[in-house]
């Protein structure tokens, strides 16, 4: 148990203090350290749970610790954080075990600080009923504490979407995500893969939105499954699958994907074209393009061509060459919080404002690559309207040769179809938050 919790402490340090991605560093440690299946599950639970509820946990710790948490030993702070998470949000671990394990972990760092850990946790247990807090403070403060979001994100969602929808976004962004896979039509049929997954002991259900989606509700690591290794399936959220499905892809097209890594959408487009035409996948970094190449090779895709390019810089050679241009632009990622809870803590309003300039530069350049009658598709994994609808309105005003095409994929409850034609997908138990707009160059 101590080994598992010690691993969790190391991962939290990397994510919260070294800006590492939770999924990447968690995978690295789980593959590197000798942990049982039970301990691997515990580490995953503790890491994601602590990141998810950090705001609430830190608010509670602030009631018992006089010094600034930012000035304390980071390992001790993370031991306290993950212990409060277990005591407050998990009921399968006895309280005495949580406290004892925390104290033992702390002793390895400092005997003196282990006494602080013991005192804080026991003080919390004596006073835990005082931390309901749903009826205290103003509306934003209550929501911040209840759903564990920083003030600026809470205010952004409530201001942009209204109190009811905004609170729903906060709640659903804390949902435990399921794994969804896309069946590769180049190699397999849906029924074939479905039966094979069930035969291998996976608990599966059909996708909610996309016909090529299978939701994995339970089973072993999907990436170690032979179906994945053979390229019959690839992991992709249904919101991301919608992008290629809405691009009106036809065989033998020329398609540019300007921000392509790790290649999920490029590969989906190539599959829809049945390995005809050309998909030019660009990215700023060679190492990220390697991921696109690896995915394409595994999936048996032969019509993807990868090249390094900065999408903010205009490339004359691409002018008027593409039937479709996809720009899945760098964004704040506020729709992905259920999978990457550290987004709550490593983003701020200033960093988002700087992203908007990048997004608009990419839009202006990419529009010049579209043929007459071709289409430009803009997508993000954020819910911030300034990065989404406001960018589209700005672009159309500057580029009247483009007009929005109305998107409609059916009624799924969590999809907002805006009167301008673009769509916002709100996060829920099944899908990430997303935004998609499609524009045709009509003159």
pTM of the predicted model, to two decimals? 0.94
Give tens-digit pLDDT for 274-297. 999 999 999 999 999 999 999 999
Residue 370, phi then psi, degrees to nearest 5: -85, 130
Which structure tokens are listed for 181?
């896979």
In 3D space, the residue among 382, 51, 154 whose CA is nearest the CA of residue 146 turns out to be: 154
409 and 415 Cβ atoms separated by less than 8 Å: yes
Long-range pairs of 218-222 with CB within 8 A, sequence gap ≥ 24: 222/179, 222/181
417 and 411 Cβ atoms separated by less than 8 Å: no
Please give the mean pLDDT across all residues of the chain. 95
- pLDDT for 1 beyond 90: no
pLDDT at residue 129, rounded to an integer: 87
Q: Distance between CA atoms of 42 and 202, rounded to whole angstroms?
A: 21
Q: Distance between CA atoms of 370 and 441, rounded to whole angstroms?
A: 7
Give tens-digit pLDDT for 46-79. 999 999 999 999 999 999 998 888 889 999 999 9
64 and 123 Cβ atoms separated by less than 8 Å: yes
Predicted confidence band of residue 392 (pLDDT cuts 50, 70, 90): very high
Which structure tokens are listed for 337?
């919080």
Q: Which residues are annotated as a binding site for S-adenosyl-L-methionine?
A: 259-265, 283, 328
Average pLDDT over residues 116-126: 96
Q: Which residue has the tokens 């406001």?
A: 390
Straight-line distance from the first to the last Cα atom of the chain, in angstroms, rounded to the nearest whole number: 65
Q: Answer positive or negative: Cα dihedral of 182, 437, 333, 260.
A: positive
Local structure of 233: helix, strand or coil: strand
Average pLDDT over residues 365-371: 98
What region does 300 belong to: left with phi over 0, alpha with psi -120 to 50, or beta? left
For the chain, list the domains and their CATH numbers.
2-130 (1.10.940.10), 139-172 (no CATH), 238-441 (3.40.50.150)
Q: Which residue has the tokens 């700005």?
A: 394
- pLDDT for 351 beyond 90: no
The catalytic residue positions are: 381
164 and 158 Cβ atoms separated by less than 8 Å: no
Numbers of helices and strands, H then E, in the chain: 18, 13
pLDDT at residue 134, rounded to an integer: 53
């Amino acid at each position: 148990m101590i080994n598992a919790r010690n691993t969790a402490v190391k991962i939290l340090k990397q994510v919260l203090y070294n800006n590492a991605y939770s999924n990447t560093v968690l995978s690295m440690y789980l593959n590197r350290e000798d942990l049982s299946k039970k301990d691997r599950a515990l580490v995953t639970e503790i890491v994601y749970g602590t990141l998810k509820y950090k705001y609430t946990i830190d608010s509670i710790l602030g009631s018992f610790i006089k010094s600034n948490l930012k000035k304390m030993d980071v390992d001790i702070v993370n031991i306290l954080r993950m212990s409060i998470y277990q005591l407050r949000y998990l009921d399968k671990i006895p309280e005495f075990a949580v406290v004892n394990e925390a104290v033992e972990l702390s002793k390895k760092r400092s005997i003196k600080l282990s006494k602080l850990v013991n005192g804080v946790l026991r003080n919390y247990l004596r006073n835990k009923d005082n931390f309901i807090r749903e009826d205290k403070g103003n509306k934003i403060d209550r929501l911040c504490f209840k759903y564990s979001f920083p003030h600026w994100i809470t205010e952004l969602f409530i201001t942009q979407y209204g109190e009811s929808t905004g609170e729903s976004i906060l709640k659903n962004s804390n949902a435990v995500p399921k794994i969804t896979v896309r069946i590769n039509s180049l190699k397999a049929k849906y029924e074939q893969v479905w039966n094979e997954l069930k035969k291998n002991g996976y608990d599966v259900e059909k996708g909610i939105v996309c016909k090529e989606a299978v939701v994995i509700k339970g089973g072993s690591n999907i990436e170690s499954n032979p179906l994945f290794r053979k390229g019959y399936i690839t992991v992709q959220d249904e919101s991301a699958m919608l992008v290629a499905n809405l691009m009106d892809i036809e065989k033998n097209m020329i398609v540019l994907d300007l921000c392509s890594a790790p290649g999920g959408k490029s590969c989906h487009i190539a599959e829809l074209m049945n390995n005809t035409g050309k998909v030019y996948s660009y990215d700023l970094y060679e190492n990220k393009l390697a991921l696109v190449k690896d995915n394409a090779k595994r999936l048996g895709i032969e019509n993807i061509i990868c090249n390094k390019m900065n999408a903010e810089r205009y490339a004359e050679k691409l002018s008027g060459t593409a039937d479709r241009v996809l720009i899945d632009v760098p964004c704040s990622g506020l729709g992905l919080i259920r999978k990457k809870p550290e987004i709550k803590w490593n983003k701020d309003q200033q960093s988002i404002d700087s992203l908007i300039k990048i997004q608009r530069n990419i839009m202006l350049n990419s529009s010049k690559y579209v043929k007459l009658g071709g289409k430009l598709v803009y997508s993000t994994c954020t819910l911030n309207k300034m990065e989404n609808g406001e960018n589209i309105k700005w672009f159309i005003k500057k580029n009247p040769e483009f007009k929005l095409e109305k998107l409609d994929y059916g009624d799924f409850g969590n999809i907002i179809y805006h009167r301008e034609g673009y769509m916002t997908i709100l996060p829920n138990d099944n899908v990430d938050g997303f935004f998609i707009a499609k524009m045709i160059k009509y003159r």
